[in-house]
Amino acid sequence: MEDNSSKKYFCGKLIGMKKETAEIIVENDALTHLPRLLNLYFPRSDEVLFISDINTSQAAADRIMKVMKESRYTIVRPLILDGGTSVVQADENSIETVQKVLSDHPEAVAVSVGSGTINDIVKVAAFEHSRRYICVATAASVDGYTSFGASITSKGFKHTRQCMAPVAVVADIEILRKAPYALTSAGWGDLIAKIPSCCDWILSNCVTGEVIDPSIWSLVETDLFRKAHDVDSITKQRSDAVASQFLHLANTGIAMQLSRSSRPASGAEHLISHVWEMDHLSYQGVPVLHGHKVFLGSLISTALYEYLFSLEDIVVSNRYGTQKVFQDKVRTLTEMKPYSESVYEIAMSKYREAEQLERCQKYLLSLLPQIKKQIEQRLIDFSVLRSLGKRGGLAVTLADLDIGREQAFRAIVLAQLLRNRYTILDYLSELGLLERAAERILSDSYYFG
């Protein structure tokens, strides 16, 4: 197959809704657009502040300096974030570091140089200063480059901080292609996670009436299944495949901008991943990348759907019990972690008294034939998805990430309490089936043995 490495991928105006990112440029020598973008979107500024970490600075700094040499802009001392003995984290400390430098250079245009973590840090810091910024992406690793909001850890709790996306995103194909394969495979995992997350969106539409906008839906779902099955092009890090993956992820971020929510890109699989992130999941001493966690979460979500659709006679139960029993259960799940209070508030908002729950369960069961018809055809079979992930070098069993079965069980049950966003976790929970389903898929060798 021909490698269209010289092909340009450009995303301009998409649809007539509120969109913060005006341009997404993915091409060879894309960095040559930086002076034009700075002039166009920041005509009154004469200074540029580049923010990166050690690795992303090495990946792009020389090319950036070469491009900017002939421009009218003064480059203030680059800020290179250093995580010390660990990787840089998108947390309050990192944000404060960037905010301080922005305060010291009130006229400088902030330009993030890196992947998801660096972009999220700069996104929040710039927003707190009421400033826009430009993103130079160095890996096709996440969908968050263009998303409305940033994934931040605060007091141990993973949450989305609402803030504006970059005014422009620039991605040089050669830099993307040369990124460590672990980052590229993480991007593939994050992209394929949209399959079960879109199923959760359909589920919520059926159960709660949550609206699905066709224009936003198409940004996420178009060509998704083909890219899932073309994982071999990603493993070879073909220029055209990596560039196309990056643009698809970026368009998913645009979908989040337009919806003012991460719903188009995030379902149960991301909530499960959030639990692992808050518990600082690492493998061989290295934090597990977001896309690798959400892919394993996607396998779990798919298995839960397959479990639900395999049931012939469903016997419901009251998994809440009395309010006191439910409170104690939530406290036990959070184990007094730093994020326990944040989880507790959301969890208690989901509590249902027995009479209300009984009505809800009858309603949910009446919808099951419709839900099964709409969702079953949109899922990739668990065995196929696992095979694709294995070919792509992703974790496909709990052991691949050193996750114990009890740890996985807790993540599934706790994930249901993290957000007021309807997913397969909520459907099973309200029927009193979630714990039973989790035990089944985690003990059955077909799934995670």
Q: What is the pLDDT of residues 47-94, one digit of tens each?
A: 999 999 888 888 888 899 999 988 999 999 888 887 665 677 878 888
pLDDT score for 88 = 79
Structure-token pair, residue 216: 């936003």
Domains of the chain, first to last: 9-179 (3.40.50.1970), 267-448 (1.20.1090)
- pTM of the full structure: 0.89
Tell me the C-alpha distance between 129 and 314, whole Å: 53
Which secondary-structure segment (H or E) carries 241? helix 239-259
CB burial of residue 353 (10 Å; 0-12, 13-18, 19+): exposed
Mean pLDDT, the chain, whole residue set:
89
Of the pLDDT bands very low, low, confident and very high (cuts 50, 70, 90), residue 21 is very high
**Eight-class DSSP state of 416:** T
Report CA-CA distances (Å) from 88 to 73, 221, 327: 28, 32, 35
Residues 6+ apart with CB under 8 A from 22: 12, 13, 41, 167, 168
pLDDT score for 155 = 65
Angle between helices 290-310 and 382-391 (to 10 degrees): 160
242 in Cβ contact with 177 (< 8 Å)? yes
pLDDT score for 13 = 36
Mean pLDDT calculated for residue range 350-359: 89
Which secondary-structure segment (H or E) carries 310? helix 290-310
Structure-token pair, residue 433: 């089936």
82-136: pLDDT as tens digits: 766 567 787 888 899 999 999 999 999 999 999 888 999 999 999 999 999 999 9
Write out the DSSP string of 369-386.
Answer: HHHHHHHHTTSPPHHHHH
Tell me the C-alpha distance between 116 and 294, whole Å: 14
- Residue 294 scores a pLDDT above 70: yes
